[in-house]
Structure 1
Amino acid sequence: MEATALDLGLRGAVAGLFLMMVVVTLGRVRPLDTIKWLSVAMAASGALYAIVTAPFVPKATVWWIMPVLGANPVLVWLWARASFDDDFVVRRWHGALWLAVVGVWFSVIFKWTTWPIFAKAGVRSMSILAIILALSAAVQTIRTWKTDLVAGRRRLRLAVLILALLIVVMLSVPDLTSISADSVGISGSLATSAGLLAIAALAGWALFHPPPAIPAVVAMAAAPASETAERAAPIRAADGGRDATASLLLRRLDILMTVERVYRQEGLTIGALAAKLDLPEYRLRQAINEGLGYRNFNAFLNRYRIDEAKAALSDPSQRDVAVLTIAMDAGFQSIGPFNRAFKAEIGLTPTEFRRDALARSAAIALENDEKLQNRPIPLKIG
């Protein structure tokens, strides 16, 4: 009874924290982007799961709710991708995957007594899918960790993700093996509630902990790369020394990027760039994130690379130069990432941009020729 009372207490705390996150997010956080909606869905499902799987809850309630909760690994995967990959976009097939998982779980429940072999196969397949999605999210999180410039997100991503994936694996592995929490002397329900409480506490801290103050130089985020140095100089605030140091660092960084064009260097990392500036890596991350508004190091580099590519694609003298050559000269290592980054930034493919730019250049040249031809010839007297 003591373990059951502790279990119920933990589940009550979990449900309260998750529901508070839902209310605060829907009531105060704006705009409600993809990450926020996924966070709301995960928090609501976490609260619901903590309640319906508690001891003494009628099993008839669980039968109708568990198929929806069984699709939580898909939500965890989508949330991790959206939270830690700035280029990730939710597609229609992601929703179709969620619906498919819910449908399989409903089939498992309704066929459990009439077709147990099918039901067991369905449970095993869903457990394997949950583990695959968990590993995929973990790999993506680790792969993008080094390029992440947001200090808070770098600190929390591994802790939150590891605990979330731990819950997924804890709920899936027992379906594939004979190993369970009960087999090692731990109450499975109590272990689940403790894990859920750890996730709820970390998620709540991430949501309610105030972000660090952004210095005045964040106003430079909207400026083109070529204007960064010009706008950095006049920025001053109450603690002028700190802002002066930040402005000087941004000017040095801008010279490296616009004059020396180090972004062309193949495989350039933030560590290598920090070494060129003789700075600790965390200082450079902070400067690029808080001073220029970039959340990802690759996005920062691509801004300069795409500017150079735009100039080359607009140059009539380079009309015969291959797009791949222009991309690699600008620092991209292959055509695929260049095309994706270019279209995300400009809204056109490089080929479409070149066609429009050259057409505009030709039209301007023709207009200038017509003006020259129609210009009156001055008469010489005497």
Structure 2
Amino acid sequence: MKRLLIAAGGGGDAIATAMVHAALHGPDEPALVLTYAWERLVVDPVPGPRRPSDFTGTVTAGPTLRLVTPRSAPRPPAGSLLPRLSADLRPALGLLDPYAGASGLARQIEEAAAYCEAGHVDVVDVGGDILADGTEPTLRSPLGDALVLAACARTGIPTSVHVAGPGLDSEVPEAALLPLLGDPLHTLTHADTLSVQAVFDWHPSEAGALLVAAARGIRGVCGTRDAPHPVTLGDASPHVYRLTLARALEINPLARALAESASLADAERASERVCGFSEIARERARAAQLGQEAGESPGGGTAPSEPRPLPRPMPRPLPRPLPERFAEWERRTADSGIAYVTTRRIAEELALSPAQLTALRRHLSTATPARHTPPLWRLAAVEA
């Protein structure tokens, strides 16, 4: 027998789900975590979620359910960190395929319950957008969470919904969530993070990193990438809250609208009606923009260009040392009131290659050890 959990948002939610499971039930209790392979364009250049046919080396656990193992691999051009994540997390990972809508997800959850011999499902969401009402101006990715709620309701299997770290995903503000959540079920501690601490040496999840930081006692303003406002780690940030499935459905109108969805296209249309947008359509537009910036023509390949006269050679300035570039960026960032940053924000805003990021991490950790407060980085202004 295994406990059955669902990482509602995919990506980094699988890490947080493993941590919550270890905190509530012990790290050695067998568990299966169902998660989407929907890791956004930073990992996967193909818009939308991946399905089992996008992987090699998965293990069959039911007619439509597949497990991702360290031997699994995404089929190019798709990308996924789930195979590597399956090697670093103790629970097994099962793949959620949303292409048949809530009805298809319900079948997969039922198969997973049979595989685990589980009579209960624990859904875990980091941040709380699983309780979005669809009108939040900062809402970016409500679809996966809402589909999980709708699918769990279709199964009839008793289900609890857990929200960890309210507001940490920068989608629904903490102040809007706390009145909906009641008293916390559990407060995560440093000890609860030990089972996942090594993952953030390589995984780009920011909401998960903030949850771990909060559990380790870090408090203050933290800057993430591509968010309208920084996140403040406060007293509620390490809390885990539990709601009934019925209460979550009552709060989330998109989940109710997805009840009869039989395809991902159905789900997209429901999101457009309720929330005014489809996050998959936004991903498609962003992927197309990135392709154009890379010089791809609409039909693929590199856009042709007219021959141009060769310019006269100009002396090329020497590249600035990486520590110098970081110091300038750090001053600007700290001046905006930010005390901590994620590794992903550093890497993306400085446009660092993996080798450069490794070199910078080594420099910051050895030259000024107090900078590294795993999995975040403390800006110099905090040290004064």
Is the TM-score greater than 0.5? Answer: no
Quick check: which one's strand share is greater? 2
The structure whose Rg is larger is 1
Quick check: which one's helix share is greater? 1
